[in-house]
Amino acid sequence: MGFFTDLKEDISQAVNEVAPEEEAKETAKETKEDIDLDALLDNIDEESEASVKESSSDDRKASSRITDETAVITAGMSVKGDISSTGSLEVLGSVNGNITINGKLNVLGQIEGDSKASEIYCENANITGEVNSQGTVKVGQSSVVIGNIFATSAVIAGAVKGDIDVKGPVVLDTSAIVMGNIKSKSVQINNGAVIEGICSQCYADVSPTSFFDEFKKSRK
């Protein structure tokens, strides 16, 4: 009997020794599974974030996309409120509000508010507000703009009361009347144009200030 008793105690001790090792293995296995799960969740979060960024980028591209449609505000129409469109707009009537479009803005009527478009053309128009173009601004003869003009190039044949800030060339035709400062890369003033303000070619390739500073250094 003593033999079987000792054998039973040895078996129990062996089982007790093996059990902690098995539990440790199971715990390590569960921990590994938890780590893998966390990593998987991290990957999902990263993919979701990338998807959101891609979607936002697509939204920005869509917002800057120009469609072929052209809306027309007829001569007898008066609009009160802001206007936005991915296409172009022709204003023959009057608009009391801001205009933001991706295409071209052609104004032959009246606008009281800020205007923003890829290109802006004014002919026999009256505009009170800021004019902001990603391309060219043309103010035709008999047009009056009371507000600042921002563009990459500008041709002025009408009257402008406000500053003109253009990254490229500015052409003032013989009938142009400008009351405000002009910032540009170059200015062409035709005979007959009238300017009351300061002309600065601050966007030119050559800086007069830098030139004369270097000249003074070379004389010393």
Residues 110 and 193 in one domain: yes
Mark whether 60 and 83 lie in a shared domain: no
pLDDT for 16: 56
Residue 205 lies in a domain: no
Q: Are residues 59 and 86 in the same domain?
A: no
Residues 91 and 13 in one domain: no
- Please check whether residues 85 and 185 belong to one and the same domain: yes
The first and second tokens of residue 208, run together, are 């007069």
Instruction: Specify if 215 maps to a domain.
Output: no
Is residue 9 situated within a structural domain?
yes
Q: Look at residue 211 and tell me if it is in a domain.
A: no
Examine the pLDDT at 20 and tell me if it is beyond 60. Answer: no
Whether residue 55 sits in one domain with residue 164: no
Residue 77 shares a structural domain with residue 116: yes
For CA atoms 112, 113, 114, 115, the dihedral sign is negative
The pLDDT value recorded for residue 89 is: 97
Give the percent of the chain with pLDDT over 70: 70
What is residue 10's predicted lDDT score, i.e. its pLDDT?
A: 55
| pLDDT average, residue stretch 25-48 | 48
For residues 63 and 84, the answer to whether their CB atoms sit within 8 Å is no
**Same structural domain, 189 and 93:** yes
d(CA 28, CA 47): 28
The answer as to whether 207 is a domain residue is no
Reported confidence tier of residue 207, pLDDT bands at 50, 70, 90 = confident
Q: Cα separation of 45 and 68, whole Å?
A: 39
Distances (CA, A) of 2 to 6, 7, 178: 6, 9, 120
CA–CA separation, 187 and 202 (whole Å):
11
pLDDT in tens, 63-101: 468 898 999 999 999 999 999 999 999 999 999 999 999
**pLDDT of 24 above 70:** no
Question: What confidence score (pLDDT) does residue 185 get?
Answer: 95
Per the structure, how many domains does the chain have? 2
**Average pLDDT for 158-178:** 97
Same domain assignment for residues 127 and 196: yes
Domain of residue 30 covers 1-64
User: For residue 219, what pLDDT band results from cuts at 50, 70 and 90?
Assistant: confident
